[in-house]
Structure 1
Amino acid sequence: MQTKRDRSWGIAIFGLIFFSVGMGFLFAFVLPALYDGYRMQSWPGTQGYLISTSLDSHYSDNSTTYTAKARYQYRVAGRSYENDRVAIHTSGDNIGDFQETTGHMLESHFSNKQPVMVYYNPADPADSVLIREQRWEMIGFELIFFAAFGGFGATALYLGLRGKKINTGPKIQGKLWLEKTEWADNIIRSNAKSSTYAMWGFTFFWNLVSMPLAFNIDTIYQKEGILAAIALVFPLIGLVLLAFAIKSTLAWWRFGITPLSMDPFPGIIGGDVGGEILVNLAYDPAMRCEVTLSCIHSYISGSGKNRSRHESVKWQDSGYAKIIRCRSNRNRLQFKFTVPEDLPQSENHSDSYYLWRLNIKSELPGSDLSRSFEIPVFKVPERKSTITVDSPSFRPTGTAQISATSLLPIVKSSGSTLELYYPMLRQPLTHLMGLVFGGFFAGIGMFLWAEAAREGTMLYFMSSIFSLIGGGIMLAMVYALFNTLRVRFDGRNIHTIRRFLGLSVKQTTLAYNTITDIIEHKSSTSTRNGSTHQIQYDVIAQTEQGKTVLAEHLDSHSKAKLVAEHFQQLIGKTKVTNQSHRV
């Protein structure tokens, strides 16, 4: 494959401007202050007297900047000198309480006619200062601006000059997997490196904004009292983000690039999607490495400044990868799935496109293994994979085999009779979090309603929107927490009863011969992070009158399919129509 770098000179120039501003901060403020602080430590001192003092203040944008000023006189070797430099930093600021404390101290000395200590440059006695201690909080504040502008500029400059690798070889019509440089050589890299960079970038800019609050916490406490604790939350979040960024970096160093090779290449709609991942990991046959394959619709919604990208999972399956010993501290993780034939194939990135994502995860001592790959899956003539493992059914050493009955909350099973019971408080953490989220929205609505009497009718409208959304979410979460479901197969009929707090909500009786199909149906999707989603499947019975839920909260397509097939056998049917991708 012939490739070249397509450099972006516009981004490079843009980055150079920001980088220059950052370097300006470094050479104009940080380095001179550090140099002055260093050389002043060796200056001798002499007694001086204040001629005038003042504490000037400047108000702007809801903040106050202070400047401690003084003019003083001193003698060196019988000669009199005057100067007005108070500290290493000569400009006003509101970082901490240094300026106010210094100003009050100088005013006290002046009013009481007390002498002050003056430190002077022995090579040039006219060069002097009253306070030669370094203000490290000020240095840190200035370094934030240097790092922000310089770091952003250096990153943009690097990305612009590095450019993007593009395929300059002949185009192969209809074979996107050979046109995209990320796929063409069948060595697919994860997003771990870019995610780590993004994590550091977000952490950096969050701390850029929040750390000045930490430097200024004394001033905030004096003005706002206990509310200063709220201001501290943001720097604390910054420290948490820093911990995650360090954790991500350690994981990257531990496991390396982890290249993925597909077999077959590309993955096949209606056939096998398999491959192996090379990872820096000591061989352990008992290690459990979860692998999840997802078909995802990525799209942009909204308009103008409100445009944002979202992801919707159309189909998902999960299981385990098999560990194959390769060589010392270098092993292969093999996986394979069989996917339905009527799912969308991989597409070029656009405002709305489909992609296939593979996630692997393993909890290990120290850094956990977690990688995400965008892989090519297309509708091409079927070719069988040489990989023998079937990830949905494969179980590592020490992991129990999955059967339909192990996935169901069975309370009674005898012959053709089967009874299931889903109690209250299923998945309590998820629903409690939803309840808190809804309560937050409803609380905003109540607050806006109280403010509307003063601010006008528009707030009544906004209050109604927030209250309806928040109240609706809360009602849904309460129902999810406190409903139960009982399902009973008696050999001829299926009986279901849904209750809420013990009160019957819905009862259904389905004769076996009226059931046209039993299918897997996506019921909900949750997002663990930006690139990992978790689908919950229900198994439902279809009749001409509608659909009835028979099983809930199955966390993979294969598990839902296994349960559906089990129900088919119970009612004397063998054909299962796979409709798990329908939403």
Structure 2
Amino acid sequence: MDKHNNKTNQSIYSNEKSGHKILMIIGALFFLISSPTLFVIPGEVRQGNYGVFAALIIPLIGIALMRFSWKMRQKFLFFGLTPLTPCPSIGQVGGQIGGRINIEKPWEKRKINVTLSCIHSYSTGSGDDRRSHSDILWQEHDKPIDRANGNTSTIEFAFDIPADCSTNGTHNGRGDIIWQVVVKGIISGKEFNRSWTLPVEKGTGLSSIVIPLAQKEAAHAAKIKQAETSIEQQIKTEKTATGLDILSDQGRNKSMSGGLIVFGSIFTSVGFFLFYQLIKSGDVPWIMPPVFSSIGLIIIGFGLFLLGRKLECKIIGDQVHTRRSLFGRQLYTRQGQLTSPDQIYLKSTMSSTSNGIKTEYMALYARVNVNDANGSTQQDIKLIEGIEGKAAGEAMKRKLIGFLQEDVIDDLNQELGV
């Protein structure tokens, strides 16, 4: 048993504990600072100055923030403080990180998901240019133990942590390493979404919370099934008389491409505005307009490429053929010899983070032999692209390798006359 389990575990309250208070203070400041304008408005209206109503925007924003804060408080109190007791008391990177969460609602059948993330939090720039960043270095999802505890209910979780993950004690770069657990689900008919920051250190200690083997196997099987269903929806595959056709169709990953186009448009608009200011007054440094415009146009171009790209792959015998097109226009083709499943590998090409969940976009490549004027050389050919989620990418890899192995067995049976 880990030595930390012998210590008195202190409860950790969720990061959302004081969020509504901060919002209430900001809203109150907005309202109080702008409230004197409310006494000026009647006199201005009598004089026909109706533009004074624009001054209502700031107090209305304050009222809206306070109202939203009150709703946040009601939602927070609905579930209670939800203290988390870590187990072990200090999470072990190289061992396990676990904990128990008490919820002041009776147990009922419900779907709860737990996400544990290792986050690198750091800042760049200084003064007005100071920016905060959060990069997810490692993340895992699981189904917790969800059980009754008298008139309340308890959620328990335990994750196996790779030894090569970082902690503040082993991190040498700028910023901090934060380990955060997020629990989401529907409890008593309302959305539950809370997060806790956990203390961690290097170690091999284990949690006293033991996830039943049957639950682990069921969760693993559910993840595989979900990944296989996802890849069926994302990538079109069809067995033919000559082999296998795979289509990474145009118009997928719209959230990623759309976000890039919007982000690039903002940069480009700022660049054009700076060009206008430079021509009009000359007060803008000449380097800024082309820099902003160029960055924006590059981002827009990449977003349009993601939106309009299509990759077709055909496997015929021991030959693989791919064709790249953009908005229906063919750009190039590739061909090579594919004889072994060992030539297939999975690679992460992009990633995005939304609501604390990291999504990786995967691509499958083949290291193939290509005959050219210089003889036979090895090249990496992209076979499938834009797979949303690492698990879906691994499912597609298994599917493709399974086809290649079947093909090898069929060829062997033909040679043996079976």
Fold-level similarity (TM above 0.5): yes
Aligned residue number for residue 237 of structure 2: 412
In the TM superposition, 1:403-442 aligns within 5 A as 403-408=227-232, 409-414=234-239, 419-442=245-268
Q: 1:512 to 1:364 in 2, by over 3 A?
A: farther
Matches within 5 A, 1:24-43: none
The match for 1:113 is: none
Structure showing greater radius of gyration is 1
1:255 pairs with one of 60, 68, 79? 79
Q: How does 1:198-347 map to 2 (within 5 A)?
A: 198-208=22-32, 219=44, 234-263=58-87, 266-270=90-94, 272-285=96-109, 287-328=110-151, 330-347=152-169
2:21 is aligned with 1:197 = yes
Matched position secondary structure for 1:458:
coil
- Kept after mapping to 1: 8 A contact 2:91/2:200: yes
Which 5+ residue runs of structure 2 have no aligned equivalent? Answer: 368-377, 407-418
Could you list the per-position Cα deviations for residues 118-172 of structure 1 after superposition, in whole angstroms to 9, with x for gaps in the alignment? xxxxxxxxxxxxxxxxxxxxxxxxxxxxxxxxxxxxxxxxxxxxxxxxxxxxxxx
Is 1:453 equivalent to 2:279 in the alignment?
yes
Q: Distance in 2 between matches of 1:334 and 1:493?
A: 51
Residues paired across the two proteins, number: 385
> What is the distance in 2 between the residues matched to 1:227 and 1:438?
36
In the alignment, the residues of structure 2 paired with residue 373 and residue 552 of structure 1 have an alpha-carbon distance, to the nearest angstrom, of 32
Map 1:35-74 → 2, pairs under 5 A:
none
Q: Is the 8 A contact 1:410 1:419 kept in 2?
A: no
Q: Which residue identity is paired with 1:241?
A: L
1:550 pairs, out of 369, 384, 387, with 384
- Cα RMSD for the two superposed structures: 4.2
- Calculate the TM-score normalised by the size of structure 2: 0.74
Give the deviation of 1:253 after TM superposition.
Answer: 0.3
SS of the equivalent of 2:287 reads: helix
The code of the aligned residue for 1:386 comes to V
Letter matched to residue 411 of structure 1: K
Distance, in Å, in 1 between the alignment partners of 2:46 and 2:226 is 58
One-letter code aligned to 2:236: V
Give the Cα–Cα distance (whole angstroms) in 2 for the partners of residues 207 and 411 of structure 1.
55
Task: Find the aligned partners of 1:540 and 1:233 in 2 and give their Cα distance.
Answer: 52
After TM superposition, list the pairs within 5 Å mapping 1:363-442 onto structure 2. 363=186, 367-381=190-204, 383=206, 386-388=210-212, 389-390=215-216, 393=219, 401-408=225-232, 409-414=234-239, 419-442=245-268
Letter in 1 for 2:129: N
Looking at structure 1, the residues matched to 353 and 85 of structure 2 have their Cα atoms a distance apart, in angstroms, of 28
**Aligned pair 1:355/2:163, yes or no?**
no
Report the alpha carbon displacement of residue 311 of structure 1 after superposing the two structures with TM. Answer: 0.9
Superposition deviation, residue 493 in structure 1: 5.1
Change in Cα spacing, 1:288 to 1:522, as seen in structure 2 (3 Å) is farther
Distance (Å, rounded) in 2 between the aligned partners of 1:562 and 1:256: 40
Change (3 A) 1:243 1:364: farther
1:467-516 CA-partner distances (Å, limit 9, x unpaired): 22322222222222222334455564554444221123454445253855
- Code of the residue aligned with 2:300 in structure 1: it is M
Q: Does 1:518 find its partner at 2:345?
A: yes
Q: Where does residue 474 of structure 1 map in the other structure?
A: 300
Give percent identity, aligned residues only.
24
1: distance between equivalents of 2:309 and 2:53? Answer: 43
C-alpha change, 1:393 and 1:433, in structure 2 (3 Å) is same
Partners of 1:410 and 1:418 within 8 A in 2? no
8 A Cα contact 1:323 1:332, kept in partner: yes
Partner deviation per Cα, 1:516-553 (whole Å, 9 max, x = no partner): 5623526222343xxx2433341443646457363534
Moved more, 299-308 or 409-418: 409-418
Match in the other structure for 1:16: none
**Range with greater deviation from structure 2 (301-310 or 288-297):** 301-310
SS in 1 for 2:226: coil
After TM superposition, the score normalised by the length of structure 1 is 0.55
Compute the displacement of 1:381 (Å): 2.3
The structure-2 alpha-carbon separation of the partners of 1:536 and 1:214, relative to structure 1 and needing over 3 Å to count, comes to farther
C-alpha separation in 2, matches of 1:303 and 1:315: 28
Once the 2 structures are TM-superposed, how far is the Cα of residue 425 of structure 1 from its aligned partner?
3.1
Would the aligned equivalents of 2:334 and 2:381 in 1 still touch at CA under 8 Å? no
Distance 1:303 1:447, change over 3 A: closer
Structure 1's unaligned 5+ residue stretches are 1-174, 574-583
